[in-house]
Structure 1
Amino acid sequence: MAIDSIGTVVNNGSASLQARNTIDQEGFIKLFLSQLQFQDPLEPVDNREFLAQLAQFSNLEQSRQLGINMEGMLTMESSSQALALLSRAVDVVQVTGGNIAGTVAAVQFTNTGPELTINTAAGVLTGVRLPQVSLVKP
């Protein structure tokens, strides 16, 4: 899940590329067991190499847990930023390229992150993401 914050640059497409270039815990176990199953019986894997691969597996699991924890922290930070904007005057970058001023009236939490509802002079904007907020006025 991509986590947005105020002023971040959204990079579309990099998540799918990263997903293809990584291996999860289950994939590592399958690869490791296949290697053990099909090794040459006349030249088995050295004990040191076997232990090094187990250490790599341990590092992989720790990295995965760290990533999960970091994602949770970023989600909480993004939610906190969105809630702090309630009743605040903001400028929002529109798709057409211009800025529009308004006041944050509501925050909705979705699977993709918080979305703001902003009251403007021209009407109500819904579904505004945090990266679209270009200025928070005092």
Structure 2
Amino acid sequence: MTLGAIAPTTSGTSLSNMGLQDFMKILLTQLTYQDPLKPMDNKEFMAQMAQFTALEQSQRLNDRVQQLIENQAALQSVSLIGRSVEISTGSGKATGTVSALSFQGAGPLLTLNVAGGGTLRDVGLDRILSVR
């Protein structure tokens, strides 16, 4: 069984980081500097509010999917305890038995007991090549 890396993708658009306060500032600025003889159309205003609501819901959905991915990675890593895994190292490959698991930072980290009595700590799931 081979496991692939589970890593979130990052979005390069600054629009995805826009919050409610930012939107309100833009809207207030737009209303402050609008031409009094040509006020903002109600339809346009409602369309902007609908777009912002859709953006906010999309951000919430992304947050929930990210939580789901993190939970799935944790569940996968728990099932590895006591199993033999092959990992990539800076100098090649190593095989060992998963003896412990920690949840720190970006994701679960494994501790492996390797042949010869050595221990490899803080092995990320992305370094696993195969599970036996």
Q: Aligned to 1:8, which of 5, 19, 23? A: 5
Q: Tell me, what secondary structure is at the counterpart of 2:75?
A: helix
Structure 2, unaligned runs of 5 or more = none
> Which residue pairs with 1:65 in the alignment?
60
The higher radius of gyration belongs to 2
Q: Tell me, what secondary structure is at the counterpart of 1:126?
A: strand
Q: Aligned to 1:38, which of 33, 38, 42? A: 33
Structure 1, unaligned runs of 5 or more = 1-5
Instruction: For residues 27-65 of structure 1, give each alpha carbon's deviation from its aligned partner in whole angstroms, at most 9, with x where no partner exists.
Output: 222222222222221221111111100101110111111
Instruction: Give yes or no for the alignment of 1:23 onto 2:20.
Output: no
| Aligned-pair CA distance for 1:67 | 1.2
Change (3 A) 1:19 1:110: farther
Change (3 A) 1:81 1:93: same
> Which residue pairs with 2:115 in the alignment?
121
Identity %: 36
- 2: CA distance, partners of 1:10 / 1:51: 37
Q: TM-score if structure 1 supplies the norm length?
A: 0.82
Q: TM-score if structure 2 supplies the norm length?
A: 0.86
| Aligned-pair CA distance for 1:21 | 5.4
Deviates more, 1:117-126 or 1:33-42: 33-42
**CA RMSD, aligned part only?**
2.1
Deviates more, 1:23-32 or 1:118-127: 23-32
